[in-house]
Amino acid sequence: MSVISIHSNVRDYTVYFQDDCSFINKFERFSQRLFVIDENVWQLHGKGCLASIPKENLMLFTVTEERKGLKSVMEIYDRLMEKSAKKNMTLISIGGGILQDVTGFVASTLYRGLNWIFVPTTLLAQSDSCIGSKTSLNYKRFKNILGTFYPPAEVHIQTTFLRTLSENDFLSGLGEVVKLHIMGGRESTDSLILSLPAVLCREPDALLLAISTSLSIKLNYIEGDEYDTGRRNLLNFGHCFGHALETVSNYAIPHGQAVVVGMIFANLAALKRKWISYTTFDSHLNSLLLKSLSIPIHEKYLKWDKILDCMRHDKKRVGNGLVMIMMRENFSFEKVVDFSEDELRSGIEELKGVLNV
């Protein structure tokens, strides 16, 4: 079993890459414990990997983006208080990014911090969200605007869970994996280009390597900037345009797929500003980005006025220009704050050509 140790201002914590499911039994060492488990995960793995979990310590949680709010947080507080939770209670969360966000918020606020363990079960949660300390809730129609910084004490990664993930959810996570490998530099990008077919087939060794590489690269960006005031911002590569596309499509385009399109857009812009060569643009596009995009992007979502409107509301925007994170030929990343409306308009036209729409 390999591990990654992470330093955080809240507490240092460890990611364990588990070879089998026996780690679940070891949670018995916590005499006061509540498992909060994504209902879908329980349906699929309750008789398998999770079979040893005692029913009296179990709370099932139905995961939807609408439920990522304070009401769900209060439901979990209620359940914990019914169990007379004290500061010595351990909360063990098993599920994807939504369950992580809701239970992480609970863990960080009840008694100002419970012992919290997270077992991520989606590709997105295993390769990206499980580290970095953010907990986020939606408030009314505003996404991720409430939150805290609170890392789990332990993260346990077991790729067996990924076998049952729907294709859409798998591809959503893949977008972040691709983003992190590109952000890691030439070597990690080239290695993902080679292993992509095996990753797409969910071959366990290829997944494990892609996940551990993604986390190591993310760690490099968050170390020293846990509170996201500088370098960590760069992890929004592909997200400036991607978020807008996701919103315009009314979430018909899964997050990770929107991020892939966002990276294609950012690279088109970088090519135009001569930040990257045509060779680099072409190799990322054809060997990695288009191969990771498996849903058609309808032209009706690529309306520049609607995308502009969303990008103007980007929470990271401070000045008059639009925000765009772009790469340079040496794989360094920069946040551009003067991206113009003209660049957006012409970029979208070029994007349509690249995507064949």
Ligand X SMILES: NC(=O)c1ccc[n+]([C@@H]2O[C@H](COP(=O)([O-])OP(=O)(O)OC[C@H]3O[C@@H](n4cnc5c(N)ncnc54)[C@H](O)[C@@H]3O)[C@@H](O)[C@H]2O)c1
Closest to ligand X by CB, 128 or 343: 128
Q: Under the criterion CB under 6 A, does residue 96 sit at the interface with ligand X?
A: yes
Shortest approach of ligand X to residue 244 CB, angstroms?
16
- The one among 57, 144, 283, 287 contacting ligand X by CB under 6 A: 144
Q: Under the criterion CB under 6 A, does residue 249 sit at the interface with ligand X?
A: no
Closest to ligand X by CB, 17 or 339: 17
Closest to ligand X by CB, 121 or 195: 121
- The CA-based angle 196-197-202, given to 5 degrees, is 90
Shortest approach of ligand X to residue 50 CB, angstroms?
11
Shortest approach of ligand X to residue 126 CB, angstroms?
9
Closest to ligand X by CB, 40 or 90: 40
Q: Under the criterion CB under 6 A, does residue 269 sit at the interface with ligand X?
A: no
Shortest approach of ligand X to residue 136 CB, angstroms?
5
# chain residues binding ligand X, by CB under 6 A: 30
Q: Under the criterion CB under 6 A, does residue 126 sit at the interface with ligand X?
A: no
Binding mask 151-190 for ligand X (x = CB under 6 A): ----------x--xx---x--x------------------
For the chain, what is the largest distance between any 2 Cα atoms, rounded to a whole number of angstroms?
A: 62
Shortest approach of ligand X to residue 149 CB, angstroms?
10
Q: Under the criterion CB under 6 A, does residue 247 sit at the interface with ligand X?
A: no
Shortest approach of ligand X to residue 147 CB, angstroms?
8
140's tokens: 């009314």
- The one among 33, 36, 40, 151 contacting ligand X by CB under 6 A: 40
CA–CA separation, 160 and 119 (whole Å): 12
**Helix, strand, coil abundance in the chain, percent, nearest 5:** 55, 15, 30
Which region, judged by CB under 6 A, interacts with ligand X, from 49-57, 127-135, 217-225, 302-310? 127-135
Closest C-alpha among 216, 151, 209 to residue 180 = 216
Q: Which residue has the tokens 């590109």?
A: 182
Q: Under the criterion CB under 6 A, does residue 243 sit at the interface with ligand X?
A: no
- The CA-based angle 303-304-305, given to 5 degrees, is 95
CA–CA separation, 136 and 154 (whole Å): 19
Closest C-alpha among 104, 72, 101, 81 to residue 91 = 104
Which region, judged by CB under 6 A, interacts with ligand X, from 28-36, 122-130, 220-228, 325-333? 122-130
Closest to ligand X by CB, 101 or 343: 101
Residue 2 makes CB contacts below 8 A (sequence gap 6+) with 17, 212
Closest C-alpha among 214, 73, 38, 208 to residue 132 = 214
- The one among 17, 27, 68, 105 contacting ligand X by CB under 6 A: 68
- Return the HEC string of 158-198: CHHHHHHCCHHHHHHHHHHHHHHHHHCCHHHHHHHHHHHHH
Q: How many residues does the chain have?
A: 357
Shortest approach of ligand X to residue 133 CB, angstroms?
8
Strands (DSSP E) contained in 164-289 are none
Query: Exposed, middle or buried, 86 (CB in 10 Å: 0-12/13-18/19+)?
Result: exposed
Binding site for ligand X (CB under 6 A): 38, 40-41, 44, 63, 65, 68, 95-101, 121-122, 124-125, 128-129, 132, 134-136, 144, 161, 164-165, 169, 172
